[in-house]
Amino acid sequence: MIDFVKVRINDKGFAERLRQNPNFDFMGKINPDTGEQKDGSRAAEFKNLKIGLYPSGMVEVTGSLHKFANDGAHNYDSFTYQRLVQTIGDIMTLLETSPDRVSLHNVEFGVNILLDTSPSRFLDNILNYRFKLPEMRTFGGKGYLMQWIKQNYIVKLYDKKRQYTLNTNVLRFEVKTMAMVHLAEVEVRTLADLLDVSKLRLLGVKLCETYRGLLIGEKLNTGQMSRSERRVYEQGMNPNFWRDLTDRKQRNYYRERFEQIIKKYGLGVRETVGQLIADKVGELLKTSDVLPDSKNKNLGHFTTSSKVVKRPINPTPANTPPSTLQRHCKVCGTPIEHRRKGAVFCHKKQCRNSDSNPRNNFKRRVFHSINQTKLFEFREVFKPTPQQREIMVQLNLKFG
C-alpha cells in the first residue's frame, strides 16, 4: 500500500559513513563553466532510490519502496505488508541505520486494483474531485493519469495497464502527501510508523474517504428517466456544469440528486470500484501478524511514534488474522468491539444501507434488463464484475 517516500536523517557522522559506503557512488554537482563543485551536495541512486548528502549533514532519501522491492523495475503488482516489512529492513541494512531514526516528509499510499474493463474507460466517467476538475497527463500516448493538487496532498488515478503495456486491467488509485499535516491524526512521523499495521489501517481508511470525494458518472439510457431526472443527469455529466456552480448549497444539492439518479439507473460502477479499493486494502494488510525479524539488528526492536512493536510469543499463521484484532465497521471504519460477535456494521443505519443498497439495486436492474433486452442475449451485452457474478449465483442466474 505504501509507495513513494521522502525521508531524512540529520546527522553529520551518519552522512560521512554513508559517503564511504561502497554500495553507493556519490557524485557532486559540477559547474560546467568552471568545473567547480556547485554547492557541496552529492547524490547517488540505487534501485530507484535517490540518496542526497548535503553539507549541513542532512541525508535525504526519496523513491518508491514498491519499486525498490522489484529491483527498481515497476510497481504494478501487489505490495503487501509482509513485503513492506522486508523492503524497509533491506533499506535499513543498506543504509546501516534503523527506521525510528528516519523522519518522514512525504509519503504516497494507494492500491492497484483489477477491473473487468479498461481503466481508461473507467477514468472517462470521473467528473471531478470535490467539485474540482482534474489535471490530465499522459504516458507517452500509453493511457493517461488524472490528478488533483490540493494544498497538502495530491489525488491520483491512472491506467497502469497502458503505462506498462500489461495484459490485465490494472487501475492505480493513490494519495501523495505533500505536507505531513495531512496525516496528523494518523501520527506517522518516522519510517518505523509505517511498520505499525494499525496506522496503515488508518491510511487505508483515509484512502477510502478520499475516493468518496470523487464524483463519478455513468453513460445511461435516459429513456426511462423523468423529465426532471433527465435534466439533472445531462447537466451532471457535463464537467463544466460543476465548475460553474459557485454556491456550496447548490453544489451539494445537485450532487446528491445526480448520485441518486446514477444509483437508480446505473450499474453501480462507483460503488463497485470503491469496494474493490477497500477489499484491496484489507488484502494487502491481512498479513499484519508478520512483524520485523528479531534477528535483524536494524528492525528487531524499534520504537514508533507512540509505542514499541514486539513480536508475539505465539504468532498467528500468516494467512489468519490475529484473534485480538480490533473489529471495525466495514463501511465507515468505526471500532465495533462493543457490538455482538459477528457484527460487521456500526449502529448507523446508513452504513448497513450503503452496503446492501448496491446489491439490492443491482438485483433489480438485472431482472429489469433481462425482461427488457430484445435485440441481444442478456449475456452478450452485460459484463458483470466478480462481486456482481456472486450476486447472480445467489439469484440462480447463469452467465456464460
Task: Tell me the pLDDT tens digit for each residue of 217-229.
Answer: 999 999 999 999 9
Residue 203 corresponds to which amino acid?
L
Provide the residue range defining the domain that includes 390: 324-400
Overall pTM surpassing 0.75 (yes/no): no
Q: What is the pLDDT of residues 154-202, one digit of tens each?
A: 999 999 988 888 899 999 999 999 999 999 999 999 999 999 999 999 9
Residue 28 lies in a domain: no
Residue 367 lies in a domain: yes
Closest alpha carbon to 196 in 104, 68, 270, 129: 104
Extract the C-alpha cell encoding 224. Answer: 426511462
Section 351-369 average pLDDT: 64
Residue 353 lies in a domain: yes
Closest alpha carbon to 77 in 110, 32, 108, 112: 112
Residue 361 has a pLDDT of: 65
Section 241-270 average pLDDT: 94
From 15-24, 104-113, 141-150, 238-247, the region with the lowest mean pLDDT = 141-150
Q: For 5, list phi and psi in degrees, rounded to 5.
A: -140, 155
Return the exposure string of 376-386: e unless at least 16 CB atoms fall within 10 Å of the residue's CB, then b.
eeeeeebebbe
Residue 247 lies in a domain: no
Residue 116 lies in a domain: no
Residue 23 lies in a domain: no
Residue 370 lies in a domain: yes
Give the number of C-alpha atoms closer than 13 A to the C-alpha of residue 300, restricted to the C-beta side: 4
Instruction: Report which secondary-structure segment, H or E, holds 264.
Output: helix 248-265
Residue 83 lies in a domain: no
Domain count across the chain: 1
